[in-house]
Amino acid sequence: MEKIKFLTASWKNLVMLNYEVDPEILKPYLPAATELDYWQGKALVSMVGFLFHDTRVMGVKWPGYVNFEEVNLRFYVRHFNGTEWKRGTVFISEIVPKRMIPLIANTLYKEHYVRMPMRHSIAKPDDANTQYLYEWKLKGRWNKLGATVNNNFLAMQPGSAEEFILEHYWGYNRLSDTSSMEYGVEHVSWKVGAVSNYVFDADVKALYGETFAPYLSVEPYSAFFAEGSEIVVRSATKMRIGPALQE
């Protein structure tokens, strides 16, 4: 039976900077019944900035919670359910400007949302490119994540790095050493744009701790931009390690 649509929205203008990290630093966040999903032998984390548009929770548009920004830090896992591998995402941190989002998402989905003042801008330096910038304020400082993107969006190529990063259609959250939350994320395959320039200026230690600082303070392994689309987030299921992986 298909799970209930918990959230529907459009995710738009995704700026993604991808960094190679030591897999050991991700193990404390690894949900039960999952393993790291590697790209060509590399464990990657992504800094992602994007826009929520036309957001509905259980079919309802909540005033003040329809259009807003998000910046998150995430990594990639896979789960074998006995018949197939499911490729998914684990969020280390998710920043939003609205107070109720952390309360609802952290309670129901065991996410890691925090609220901070946020803003974004979109500018066109010339006919061929667009500049996207996401900012969030921490300890009086505006942190920045952005990119200059070519306006000629193309379909992702099978087997490409963009496909690996973007086509993870499950979300997983750690509950304990033996249990996790799993939820489905549905959307069409996104078109991507080439990034010619990027910016990431942030207090990494204050945001994510000393462990991530050495890895997020160097040049990213890759930089992508995705156009985005309408999305559906399904209601969550609890998983556990044992003879039955789900309950």
> pLDDT tens-digit profile of 125-146?
999 999 999 999 999 999 999 9
Instruction: Compute the Cα dihedral for 112, 109, 45, 82 and give only its sign.
Output: positive
Instruction: Give the length of the chain.
Output: 247
Strands (E), 81-217: 85-96, 113-115, 118-126, 129-138, 141-150, 154-155, 170-174, 179-186, 191-193, 195-201
Task: Provide the CATH number for the domain formed by 5-240 in this structure.
Answer: 2.40.400.10
Task: Identify the residue whose tokens are 């040049």.
Answer: 219
Give the whole-number percent of the chain exceeding pLDDT 70: 95
Flag whether pLDDT at 247 surpasses 50.
Answer: no
Report how far apart, in Å, the C-alpha atoms of 12 and of each of 53, 100, 127, 163, 203 are: 7, 21, 20, 17, 25
Output the furthest CA–CA distance in the chain (Å, rounded).
Answer: 58
7-18: average pLDDT: 97
Task: Report the pLDDT value the prediction gives residue 98, as an integer from 0 to 100.
Answer: 85
Per-residue confidence band for 104, with pLDDT thresholds at 50, 70 and 90: confident
Task: Report the pLDDT value the prediction gives residue 108, as an integer from 0 to 100.
Answer: 66
Task: Report the pLDDT value the prediction gives residue 246, as an integer from 0 to 100.
Answer: 42
Task: Report the pLDDT value the prediction gives residue 204, as an integer from 0 to 100.
Answer: 97
Q: What's the CA gap between 44 and 47, in Å, rounded?
A: 10
Task: Report the pLDDT value the prediction gives residue 242, as an integer from 0 to 100.
Answer: 56
Task: Report the pLDDT value the prediction gives residue 140, as an integer from 0 to 100.
Answer: 96
Flag whether pLDDT at 71 surpasses 60.
Answer: yes
CB contact at 8 A, 111 and 74: no
CA dihedral in degrees (189, 194, 198, 203; nearest 10)? 20
- Single pTM value for the model: 0.92
Flag whether pLDDT at 60 surpasses 90.
Answer: no
Task: Report the pLDDT value the prediction gives residue 28, as an integer from 0 to 100.
Answer: 94
Task: Report the pLDDT value the prediction gives residue 245, as an integer from 0 to 100.
Answer: 42
64-68: average pLDDT: 90
Tell me: the pLDDT tens digits for 182-238?
999 999 999 999 999 999 999 999 999 999 999 999 999 999 999 999 999 998 899
Task: Report the pLDDT value the prediction gives residue 191, as an integer from 0 to 100.
Answer: 97
Q: Which residue has the higher pLDDT, 73 or 237?
A: 73
